[in-house]
Structures are given as structure tokens and as C-alpha cells.
A and B are shown apart, each in its own frame.
Chain A
Amino acid sequence: MALFPFSAIVGQDELKLALEIAVVDPGVGGVLVFGDRGTGKSTAVRALAGLLPKMKVVVGCEYQCDPTSDRAQCPSCRAMTGTPQVAEVSVPVVDLPLGATEDRVVGALDLEAALTRGERSFSPGLLARANRGFLYIDEVNLLPDHVVDLLLDVAASGENVVEREGISVRHPARFVLIGSGNPEEGELRPQLLDRFGLSLEVRTPGDLPTRVEVVKRRAAFERESGAFLEKWASAETALTTKLEDGRRRLREVQVPDAAIERAATLCIALGTDGLRGELTLVRAARAAAALEGELQVTDRHLARVAPLALRHRLRRNVLDEVGSTVRVERAMAEVFPP
């Protein structure tokens, strides 16, 4: 099925920004998208696949190893002598369907080979296919806890270690985890929330013109996807270029001491626990600057990404009616007076 073009998504600026940041700096630590039904959360995430820049991979490697890096390679690529054959492929966006069995997520004994040839070989799972790309879980709040724990562990360590059925495999699994869900159907444990880099809540647009535009585009896409994709092709190409430029520029972006201090002040004002929030805030601001074509992080970049990086790290007060976004905004108004 054809994918709805990312640039044809009406509004949802924060969601788009979060995803673009994750493309520019995969190290930012994953994105969690919560929101009402029918807001097009999954449409936006899946649409990413159409934009992602190409990457170089070792031909024949099941883990899409990077030929230019010695680190983070799978055992067979490490053992390879001579120059590997190189191919260009799109950065993968792998969907983790609800009901995926654990063996398909982490990989397992190749049943076919075992049954027919009596061989004990490893059949890589979704984590292998997502290496160097994105792993998307819709309804992340409905996934069994042990699977979510496992995914977050692998996402944090960048390595998948499989010890089962007498198989012992260790392979690179660096990916950006993107989760989405509807909070009305069950919330995510706070321990898990904190492990996502960025989080946001999408809402159904309330104003009529925006709603009309969303429905028209959706209907046009569903009716004649070919013509629709053609119409948006140039916008998509422009966006891909912007993301490629951002990736290239990221390393050149300076983070002045003043910006780091600002980030710390904001985190203290909000009482976020630990250093994670601060670190993510600075990283995300740097990626935002790179996306804008700037070479230095400023207050504006910090302010733009602060809600994304911090709102899910506030100490939770279950009876407090004030939403976390409002709390971040209040703290920002104090730390960055207009």
C-alpha cells in the first residue's frame, strides 16, 4: 500500500519537528506520540519512510552493517577480510505489529533449517532489520511489559544479545524507537516514559478550515494515490534534502556554555529527575539548529524543543489538573523571560 506523503500532513508541527529531530540525530533517544484516535499519528510515522536519506550498507549482511565503521558491526562483517561490497539502501522504518512473537522480535533458531537439515542457525528478527533505522510500535501501551522492557534495553545498548535454544548471537541493533498510543486505553509505566527521548501529545484540530483540509487530502489520497503522490513529490524531495543537510551539519553546530546553563536552569525549575532530561534537551536543540541551517544553539532552539524533551519527565502529581505542557511553558516563561 502506498504511503501518505509526510509533507501533505496538515499541521501537527510538533510531531513533525520531533520526527525530523530523530532523523537528524538518532541519538536523541526515541519519540513517544500520544493522542486521540484518528489524528494520524501512525500516518506521520510511516510517512517518514518516504523521506529518509539513503545509507551505505555491506552487501549480503542481514544487519545492514555500515561499511565505513569498524565498530558496531556484526560478527561476520568484523571477520571479513578485504573490502566489502557496498550498496545504498533506504534507512529502514520497521513496523512492530501487535502480536509479534518474541522470537520474531529478537530473532531465534531458524526452524526450517533445524527441521529439514538439522542445522542450528540463527534467523534474525525485527531488531536486526531495524538496525540503523527506525522501529515503530503503534499502541505501545498495549504491548506486554516484558517486550517493551526488552526493546528499550536494546535501544539503549545498541546491541541485541540472543541466548536461546543453544544459540548465542550478539549483533548491532541501533535504532530509533518510536511509540504511539492512546492514553485513554491504558498508560505507559513512568519508568518507560522516562526512557523515551522526546514525547508529545497530538490533538484533533478543532478549527474548521484545518479539518476540511485534512479530510480533503485524506480522501484524495485514498481515491487516487498515484496522482496525489505525484503532486507532493517535489515537496517530499525538498524535505529529504533538508534532512540530509541537517544530518551533515549536526556535527558543526556549537553548543555554547550559556546554552548548557540555560538547559540546567530550566530542568532545575521543573524539578526533573536526573541528567537525562538536560542531556536530551541540549541534543534536541542542537538538532533543531542543524535543521534550521544554523551553526549555534540559541535560547530559541532550547525553547522550541523544551516541551518535547521535558514534559514526560516531570514528577507526576496524579491529582494535579495542570497539564505537563503548561508546567513546562510556565517554567520557560520564567527562565527565558520574553
Chain B
Amino acid sequence: MTADALEAEARWCDAVTAIELLGVGPTQVGGVLVRGWPGPVRDRLLDWVRMVCLPPLVKVPVHITDDRLLGGLALAATLETGRVVLERGVLAQADGGVVLVPMAERLEANVVGHLCAALDRHELSLERDGFTGVTPCRIGVVALDEGIDDERAASALADRLGLHVDLQPLPPRSTPPLLPDVDKVRAARARLESTSVPDSLVTALCEAAVQLGVDSLRATVLAVAVARAHAALCGRAIANDDDAAMAARLVLGPRATRFPETEQAPAPPEPSDEPAPEQPPLPEDRADDQPPPDGDPDEGDLDAALTELVIAAARSAIPDGVLDLVTAGRSVQRGPRSAGRSGALKASTSGGRPSGTRAAVPQPGERLNVIETLRAAAPWQRLRRRAASSRVEVRRDDLRVTRFAQRTESLVIFCVDASGSAALQRLAEAKGAVEQVLGDCYVRRDHVALIAFRGTHADLLLPPTRSLVRVRRCLADLAGGGATPIAAGVDAALALALEARKRGRSPLVVMMTDGRANVGRDGTRGPAGQGDALASARSLRAHQVRSLFIDTAPRPRPQARELAREMGATYLPLPHLDPRVVSSQVQALTQAGP
């Protein structure tokens, strides 16, 4: 067999085991995060879920509304009977079974929130439409992550799904070497309750997690649960090394953010760019809480060997990108992007977020808020109702329209010149202005993205985010030097701006450069640079993307002003730049509409 075929076989086996474990204890293992495109491979996996797991299997469409997900007033029935009829939501219907989430990378924040709450608490507490209550919701979640590039399922959800399976490397025609064993899963389900995981395995999994840079303790707790389910699957009352190794492979490996040391060595300290956290002392009662460590030297060696085994098992499941980044001297960003292009904060695109209702007859493009309309009509029913009629009488005055926040969300794209040794110095001088703009974005809850250009090209250093922590880090880590490819910078900003517009955000480009371009669109150095920069600037204007040009040169020159004019940008030279002026310009531009 070729190496590729071997690799494919191993992946199939992991997928089969993951689905079997889901079938054994969906609430215990949380669920499966499946990365891969729709196709025969993924279809096969979903068939297995149907085959192995207890029903119901309930699908959550990506744009599901809260009232369908959680339940609420059943309008048709309520109107028909003239009394309040409640309807169960999709999550409550899934109790005891599995929830299937396609396009998990596009889930709205509220859906992610509800799924997480159900996974944490195994029940749902509802406060909706006059209904208050708690319903059981013991579910496992199968999330299908179809994201490309940086798109990922929200980290809050991914963190809670124990098993991570990557189908991407499997060719479409690939066939599995084995199938899930339904009888084995059924037997294991009955055994799970009485299966235990010894402390030595828990310790080994914890140590492996630290060495692999898996920060979330929830992941380790899930690894223990997966080891237990695997022991049950193999007919063991007490989990052994194999179970821990499988848990490491399916739970910890895919979450690794760094490569463990090959040598048996003490765990390295956590890499951290923040001040070291105070180590909390262990509570005093710890001594009676667990047996004192015995002095048997063999015991220690055994434990070390076990940890080594567990790490070795996880190692083979570490995603490819991790090693590259480690060799490049960087550690991977912890966990998948949470506020990336389609992350947890994806904005509602229906014309801003709803902000209450108002009494009005809906105009074209407006939405009638049925519940609020009914609420308005409800008190008058006795008076309005004709004898023997149970119809709900709704009058014109009762109509309520959902009111949306006026402003659409903005995306402020910083496009920063990082070329030349002095560029960063000049950027530092513009710090007051940047700070002011960031502060404003923060208050208005705008998204911010950061593009830097130097050498031959431009890089998207930070995809749209609302986290100032990340913007701040990114700006502080900015490296400088090289030639000045302004055209590339403007092109990158335009591409991002157009994409943002597609998502219903209104973009604003804040260009920060001295305007002296010396690299062309093709990446070669020369006088063509300036001409290309002007051409790019014109195309930004042609797309009617609003922009602000902060000239960072100590002594402004005509080139920059010309570039700004071609962009249609508001031009602000740095010397004597008042941050408040910048702030009011940004405010004016972001609020002016798309």
C-alpha cells in the first residue's frame, strides 16, 4: 500500500470510531465536528450517524430563528383556538438523540449560544412569548464545518464537541476499510454507566494536553469521557492505555497548537504574551481528597511511559499547519477563529439588528411582527368578538412592525504602509490617531481589519474582528522594512471591502502611507509603482468605497495628495494631526451609508 492509501485508511478508521463513540454516549462526548465538503465521503459518514445513534436525528438549518429552535407561541393554533398554544422547538424535539448542524461555520451567534447551553446543561431553560420553563435536552451535536481558508465553526461550539474528524484529505472515491458495528455500540451503551477511567489515565491525558498546547480544560474533560466511551466500546470495565491513546488521537491531536517535544521532558511552560497568571494554590482539603503519591519509583516511570504513549498517539493526528508554524517560530493561534469572516459574531444581514417594534402598518420592505401584533390585539378580544366566534379580531391599530437599528454595521479596514525602515516609526507617530479611530470603533461596535503592505505584496494580518485585544497585538507585532507596493495594498483593501459589502457591512478604508510607491502590481520594483498605485486608487473610487488617507510623511508631498484625490479619499496630513479630527471624519464616513 502507498503512504497515501495508508493515510486514507487511518482516517476512515478514525471516522468510524468517532461515530461509534458518538453512538455510545452522545451527551458524554458532546458530539463530532466534521470538517469537509459535501460529497460521497461525508454522505457515508452521515449514513453511519443515522445507523448507529439513537433517534431522533434533528437537523438545524443555518438560519433557523429562535422561535423554531427553542419553541414558542404556535401562531396558527393560537389563532384558531383563541387560546395560547405552545410549540416545541427543534432542540427540545432532539432530546435523547443527535442534532445535525450543516454549514456550522455560518451559524449565527444566537444559535451557537443555544447549542452550547444545551450541551453544557443537558436541558433548556426558556423565557419566551409568555412561556417559562425547563425542558430536558440531552443531545450530541454533529457539526458539519464546510469553511474554506480561515472560516471555521465558532470556537465556543467546537470546544464542546469532543471528537474532531477531518475528511478533507480523503479522495471522493475512497471507500472505508470497515463499517461501524451497530451491535457493539448498543452493548457499549448499556455498559457505559459502569465503566471507569483510572486516575493514572486522567493524569496522562492532562499532561498530553499541556504538551500539545491544548489550553481548554473542557477538551481534556472530554478526552476522559471519550476514553471511557472507548473502553465501553471495547468491552472493558476499566479504561486502559489503548483507550487513553484513542482519546488523545481523536480529541487532543486535532486541537494541538504546538508540537510536543520528542524527548521525554517536563512540560514546557505555556507560551504567553500576557503577564503570567497567578498560580492558584490548591485547596487545603486536597490531601484527604486523593491518595498521597506513593514512593514507588517504578510507578513514576510507568506514568511517564504512559504519557509518552498518549502523546505519540495524538501526534499522528496533529493538523498539518501546526508543524509549519512551529518551525517558523510562531505558535498557532489558539483554537479556531471565533470572530473571523463567518465567526460567532456574524451580523444579521436583514438591514441591521432588530431593535424593538413600533405601531404601524407595514410598508414594503418592512416586517410585520406577528407576536407583538397579537399582543396588542389580545386585550380587546372580549369586546370585539361577535357572539360564538372564536376568531382573533385584529384591527389596523394593533399592527406592529419590527424596527431595525438604522445603521448597518461598519468595517474599518486599516491599510498600513509597513515598508522602509522608517515606516513603523511614522506609524508610531500616527498612534494617537489610530488609537482614536480604534476607540471609536470599539464604542460603536464596528469591526476592524488590518492589512499591511511591504516588499512585494500586501497581507491581511487580521480578518474583520471586534476584538481590540487582537488588533492591539497585531499592530504591536507589525514587522517593517522593504519596498513600497501601494497598489497591492489598495487592491487588497478593495477586495476586503467588496467582500464586506456582500455581507451587508459598510466598509471604510483608512490608508496610512506617505504615498511614495515603488513596486508595481506585478511585484517588481520600479517607476511603474506610482502609476499602478494611482490605477488601484481609481478602482477603489469606482467601486464607491469610502476612504480616509492619513499621510504619514513628516513633510507631505504632492504624490500622496494626488493618490488621495484619485481614491476619492478625505486627505489628512500627519503633521499637527489632531486625533479628534480623524475621529470625526471616521464617524462621518461610517455613518454616511454603504
Contacts and interface: CB of A to CB of B under 8 A. Distances in A.
Nearest to B83: A116
Contact of A184 (B286, B338, B434): B338
B379 A165 contact: yes
Interface stretch (B212-220, B523-531, B560-568): B212-220
Given A37-B155, A207-B279, A211-B210, A101 B129 contact: yes
Interface in A13-61: 13, 36-40, 42
Contacts of A118: 379, 381-383
Given A187-B468, A219-B225, A100 B128 contact: yes
A215 B442 contact: no
Interface in B179-224: 196-197, 199, 202-203, 205-207, 209-210, 215-221, 224
Contacts of A96: 127
Given A118-B382, A208-B210, A319-B472, A213 B282 contact: yes
A313 to B, nearest CB: 16
A274 interface: no
A204 B353 contact: no
A206 B269 contact: yes
B339 interface: yes
B410 to A, nearest CB: 15
B66 interface: yes
A97 B127 contact: yes
A314 to B, nearest CB: 13
A120 B439 CA distance: 47
A103 B467 contact: no
What is the predominant secondary structure among interface residues of chain B facing chain A?
A: helix
A215 B220 contact: yes
Given A37-B159, A109-B378, A215-B220, A1 B121 contact: yes
B120 A326 contact: no
B282 A209 contact: yes
A276 to B, nearest CB: 19
A169 interface: no
Contact of A182 (B123, B129, B156, B224): B156
A38 B159 contact: yes
A38 B216 contact: yes
A56 to B, nearest CB: 24
Given A109-B379, A219-B225, A319-B435, A190 B217 contact: no
Contacts of A319: 431, 434-435, 438, 472, 475-476
B442 A219 contact: no
Contacts of A37: 155-156, 159, 216, 218, 335
B375 interface: yes
Contact of B128 (A7, A95, A101, A185): A101
Nearest to B476: A321
A110 interface: yes
A116 B82 contact: yes
A111 interface: yes
A304 interface: no
Contacts of A185: 109, 156, 338-339, 343-345, 466-467
Given A97-B126, A318-B438, A11 B225 contact: no
Contacts of B361: none
Given A99-B114, A215-B206, A125 B127 contact: yes
B364 interface: no
B462 interface: no
A187 B467 contact: yes
Nearest to A9: B283
Given A1-B121, A219-B224, A319-B435, A115 B127 contact: no
A86 interface: no
B174 interface: no
Give the size range of B's interface with the partner: 35 or more
Nearest to A11: B280
Interface in A91-111: 95-105, 108-111
Nearest to A211: B206
Given A1-B122, A109-B378, A109-B379, A219 B130 contact: no
A216 B290 contact: yes
A316 B469 CA distance: 12
A204 B216 contact: yes
A191 B442 CA distance: 11
Contacts of B286: 213
B375 A108 contact: yes
B267 interface: yes
A139 B376 CA distance: 31
A212 B435 CA distance: 42
Contact of A183 (B467, B471, B476): B467
A222 interface: yes
B435 A317 contact: yes
Given A111-B375, A213-B282, A323-B274, A316 B114 contact: no
B281 interface: yes
Interface in A65-122: 95-105, 108-112, 114-118, 120
Interface of B: 28, 66, 69-70, 73, 78, 82-84, 109-110, 113-114, 117, 120-130, 132, 155-156, 159, 196-197, 199, 202-203, 205-207, 209-210, 215-221, 224-225, 228, 267, 269-270, 272, 274-275, 277, 279-283, 285-286, 290, 335, 338-339, 343-345, 353, 355-356, 374-376, 378-379, 381-383, 392, 431, 434-435, 438-439, 442-443, 445, 466-472, 475-476
What are the nearest 4 A-B pairs in CB distance?
Answer: A118-B382, A11-B280, A38-B218, A104-B127
Given A186-B466, A215-B217, A216-B199, 6 more contacts: A37-B155, A103-B375, A104-B127, A183-B469, A185-B467, A186-B445
Interface of A: 1, 7, 10-13, 36-40, 42, 95-105, 108-112, 114-118, 120, 123, 125-126, 138-139, 142, 144-146, 165-166, 182-187, 189-191, 203-216, 218-219, 222-223, 235, 316-321, 323, 325-326
